[in-house]
Structure 1
Amino acid sequence: MLVYRRKDLPDDPVFPADLEKLGYFINDQDQIRQIANPDESFRYKINANERWNEVHCSAFNDCIRHIVLSRLEALGMETLRLPVGAQTHEKHVPILHSTNISAAKRIIVVLGSPDQELGIWTYRSISEKGINVGSMVDFAKAVLQRDKDNTKEPNGEHDSIALVIANSGQLIYHCGSGTSMSRSTWFALPVASAAHPPLRQTYRNVVPGNTNWRKHVRYIFENVLAAGGEFVNANAKIDIIGVEEGGLAAVEYLGEHSICFARPLHNKRQLFNVEEQESADNGNSSDVEVGQTPGSFAKFLATRCRAYLLSDKPLEWPIPGTPEYGCNTHSSGEAVNHEDAVVSSWQAMLIWLDKLHYDPSHEEVEFIMEEVVDDEAWRKWQQREDEEDEEESSK
């Protein structure tokens, strides 16, 4: 057994949260590039020791977050600390909202995934396509511009639009800095030496009411978006864009708290109202169209919701997945990286949400597409596996 003295262990690496000192700059296309090589973007591996790479990447991402948040603030977005009423020195997680949230008659809410930090879609898209594109800056501009360009309602009142951005990715509170952060940022915090493990998380790092992404979404619904609350207009209409787990949490919460039907089942294949189920139990079954039980949450999911998935098809192209997701599924225009799907499809989402908002009677027509299975490729793979098994058995 080898025991190293503290002075023999390598010091934990330190990198400044400054783009220029890290060797980067922002070019005229809003992309972050290396000063030494302007054609190259961020370089992750700078050392054979992974600790150096993690801390360096965290400092780089910290620079991006500061840039993005400053741009969102310049657009009029404000920070709200959760739990509501938390002071700067108390445990909290920040979310963003536009200044008109209390008066707006329409609110667009973004519920991100646990892998997304506040105001960020993906760091990959920021590196490849630009800061505004890969973050929520362009998205916020589009939403808030809709508010400025919006026409008046028939009664002459302005139908204002507000924006709320949740923060499912930064739910770990660091007492030393007084900020909440993501898991990757937590793992990059300074430790005694480069050989020491990350700081241990305890109850002191848990934000009340926001211990995980499900509870974070629940807290926003019940304490920020609640009708008659201190933040939103009681008559406001709410549009939700849920990204990965954020979308799942929204569906789970709304399904659980739906007052539309007695038994909150949101599996379309199992959804019947009480009379239909009793009739089926008595042997008088009748064909019930999938997701068409009137007044049910599944009906709402099928007719007023959409899912955008990874696909090599063009944006908005109908693709298989309706039975699995409970609503029509469309191509996001992104075929490889799941976290980039929202980057390529949020404009289409806003257009579709506009259509739903201004036409409350509109309902999606359900389509179910069969997935094409490449049987020939499967047969060749199976044949190759059988040949390898025969070779192994003959040895």
Structure 2
Amino acid sequence: MFRRLWSGLPPDAKFPSDLKGLGYFVNDQDEIRSIENPDNYFKFFLNRNPRICARQRFEFNHAMEDIIHKRLEHEGLLKLCLPLGAWETEPHLPIFITPDLEIRSRIIVIFGEPTHELGVLAGRVANGPGGIDEGSVMQVVRAVKLQRGSSSDDTSPGIVLANVGQTCWWPEGQRAITVTANNAVPLPSLVHRGVQHVPNVHGIPGNNSAEEHVKYVFDEVISRRANDKATVDIIATGESCEIVERFLDGEEAWNTWGNTISALVLLGPVYESEGLKNEKFKDFMAKRGRAYFLSHEPVGTPLAPPEGNSNRWIPSLGLPCYSSSEPMHTESIFVRARSHILSYLQEVALDLEYENPLLVPADCDVLLPTTERSWEELPEGEKPIVIKTNPDELEEDIRQIKRWKQFEETGKAPETDSERETEERETKKMKTKEMETEEMETEP
């Protein structure tokens, strides 16, 4: 009889928590490169075991996050712990704000994607081609400092960097982490499944989710730190777009903040305006809101009015939509269209009576599938993929689907075809032969 002891389990993967210890450095182009081979960027697939790769990524992300936070503090931003008044050893999450927020006439609030660490816009840019500043909020912060607060104020706008991603408390590390990172925290062994989420241990009061955090930022941070006459500009990315929209669509929230919010910019939204109920908020979105979409068109190219554009497969989102010039990744929209986005916010801030002009979508080469065009006239990228399938292979695929269905229902999958399947297959073959025989007999 054998008994496996806990001490016999393989130890969990351990990595240093700094770039140098991980084998990387920041070169003179602000890009993270390998010390062993400076031509290489970060290498995720370090091992065939996905747990080892995830552990390296966990430490790498937090090493890069620490660099970004130090740079933000160097730019004069203040790291604030939420809930307000929480000690560093208590469950909390950090945000960054302008220290003298109460004297700013205009405040820009940035809600990143719920999967990212605080300060990171696009991980693929921050740890790859482009560099840390380009893939983080550093360039945004510097650009905002060059803007004016309002038409009657020469001071730059204040900044609030919200943290919708790190809503999970890691007790052993004494820091807030993302839900994704929570799957890669150190464990007793390499084969442990993970950490069970206990609300009283891993929750952060008032900020247990991205939805709670958005509400807390408005109701506790801005309402307490900003002055009553300050206007608020909002930028949200990815899933945060829907969260912010749902919050402002509430009657109580809009009654409180409707006269304060000056502009709304959504990057990569998908939430249709049919889901919104507050007519005043919908009217505001159409007049002083803007969305930037994934598109290969030059930045700022008009794609759809608030009612949508069927030629571009853009539904009614309730606000005018423009191209970001980023064709693939939502997280990179802010990086690509940063200057255009901030210029729009500045334009709205300097004109209290501003309303979006009538948007006429640019001519597009994307046509609906129902458009009648000959095969030769269609560009290669728009032609549907046509493949030929072997009838026997198709039949085998169907049988495999049936096996999986039986497995889901009974918990057991047949090793061979059932008698019913065999009978159906033989019957089908006989019918096919009979039809072929009839065709041959009818031929002259």
The answer as to whether partners of 1:309 and 1:329 remain within 8 angstroms in 2 is yes
Match of 1:300 among 284, 296, 314: 284
- The answer as to 2:185 corresponding to 1:193 is no
CA shift, 1:383, in A, is 6.2
Aligned match of 2:111? 111
The answer as to whether partners of 2:15 and 2:59 remain within 8 angstroms in 1 is yes
The answer as to whether partners of 1:44 and 1:57 remain within 8 angstroms in 2 is yes
Aligned match of 1:311? 295
Match of 2:341 among 336, 341, 349: 349
Q: Supply the distance in 1 between the matched residues of 2:254 and 2:391 (Cα, whole angstroms).
A: 54
Match of 1:239 among 233, 251, 254: 233
Q: Supply the distance in 2 between the matched residues of 1:272 and 1:118 (Cα, whole angstroms).
A: 31
Q: Supply the distance in 1 between the matched residues of 2:89 and 2:7 (Cα, whole angstroms).
A: 35
- The answer as to 2:208 corresponding to 1:211 is yes
Aligned match of 1:289? none
1:1-395 to 2 correspondences below 5 Å: 4-126=4-126, 127-146=128-147, 150=148, 158-203=154-199, 204-226=201-223, 229=224, 231-256=225-250, 257-259=253-255, 296-320=280-304, 322-323=306-307, 324-367=316-359, 369=361, 372-374=367-369, 381=384, 384=387, 392=394
CA shift, 1:89, in A, is 2.2
Question: Which string of whole-angstrom CA distances, capped at 9 and with x for unpartnered residues, describes residues 334-381 of structure 1?
Answer: 101122112111221110000000012121134365862255679964
Q: Supply the distance in 2 between the matched residues of 1:56 and 1:258 (Cα, whole angstroms).
A: 43
Change (3 A) 1:158 1:392: closer
Change (3 A) 1:131 1:380: closer
Counterpart code for 1:128 = P
Question: Which string of whole-angstrom CA distances, capped at 9 and with x for unpartnered residues, describes residues 123-173 of structure 1?
Answer: 111122100000111111111233xxx49965xx54441000000110001
Q: Supply the distance in 2 between the matched residues of 1:52 and 1:306 (Cα, whole angstroms).
A: 42
Question: Which string of whole-angstrom CA distances, capped at 9 and with x for unpartnered residues, describes residues 152-210 of structure 1?
Answer: 965xx544410000001100012222211112322221111101111211011111111
CA shift, 1:320, in A, is 3.7
The answer as to whether partners of 2:145 and 2:156 remain within 8 angstroms in 1 is no
The answer as to whether partners of 2:30 and 2:131 remain within 8 angstroms in 1 is yes
Counterpart code for 1:170 = Q
Counterpart code for 1:9 = L
CA shift, 1:102, in A, is 1.2
SS of the equivalent of 1:163 reads strand
Counterpart code for 2:344 = W
CA shift, 1:23, in A, is 1.3
Unaligned runs of 5+ in 1: 274-292
Counterpart code for 1:138 = Q
Change (3 A) 1:305 1:32: same
SS of the equivalent of 2:190 reads coil
The answer as to whether partners of 1:334 and 1:340 remain within 8 angstroms in 2 is yes
CA shift, 1:217, in A, is 0.4
Change (3 A) 1:174 1:198: same
CA shift, 1:272, in A, is 10
Question: Which string of whole-angstrom CA distances, capped at 9 and with x for unpartnered residues, describes residues 6-28 of structure 1?
Answer: 33321101100121221111111
Q: Supply the distance in 2 between the matched residues of 1:174 and 1:207 (Cα, whole angstroms).
A: 10
Counterpart code for 2:204 = V
SS of the equivalent of 2:61 reads helix
TM-score, normalised relative to structure 2: 0.74
Unaligned runs of 5+ in 2: 260-270, 308-315, 396-427, 430-444
Change (3 A) 1:191 1:353: same
CA shift, 1:114, in A, is 0.6
Q: Supply the distance in 2 between the matched residues of 1:271 and 1:192 (Cα, whole angstroms).
A: 47
The answer as to whether partners of 1:267 and 1:298 remain within 8 angstroms in 2 is no
SS of the equivalent of 2:145 reads helix
Change (3 A) 1:320 1:388: farther
- Cα RMSD between the aligned structures? 3.0
TM-score, normalised relative to structure 1: 0.83
Question: Which string of whole-angstrom CA distances, capped at 9 and with x for unpartnered residues, describes residues 262-304 of structure 1?
Answer: xxxx97569999xxxxxxxxxxxxxxxxxxx7xx221110010
SS of the equivalent of 1:349 reads helix
Change (3 A) 1:239 1:270: closer
* Larger CA deviation: 209-218 vs 68-77: 209-218
Change (3 A) 1:390 1:104: same
SS of the equivalent of 1:129 reads coil
Question: Which string of whole-angstrom CA distances, capped at 9 and with x for unpartnered residues, describes residues 204-256 of structure 1?
Answer: 11111111111110111111122xx3x10110010000112222222222221
Change (3 A) 1:238 1:151: closer
The answer as to whether partners of 1:144 and 1:163 remain within 8 angstroms in 2 is no
Q: Supply the distance in 2 between the matched residues of 1:383 and 1:251 (Cα, whole angstroms).
A: 41
* Larger CA deviation: 329-338 vs 364-373: 364-373
The answer as to whether partners of 2:106 and 2:150 remain within 8 angstroms in 1 is no
Counterpart code for 1:58 = F
SS of the equivalent of 1:173 reads strand
Which structure carries more relative contact order (alpha carbon 8 Å, separation 6+)?
1
Counting matched residue pairs gives 361
The answer as to whether partners of 1:109 and 1:240 remain within 8 angstroms in 2 is yes
Q: Supply the distance in 2 between the matched residues of 1:110 and 1:326 (Cα, whole angstroms).
A: 20
User: What is the percentage of aligned positions where both structures have the same residue?
Assistant: 30
The answer as to whether partners of 2:68 and 2:132 remain within 8 angstroms in 1 is yes
Q: Supply the distance in 2 between the matched residues of 1:19 and 1:351 (Cα, whole angstroms).
A: 35
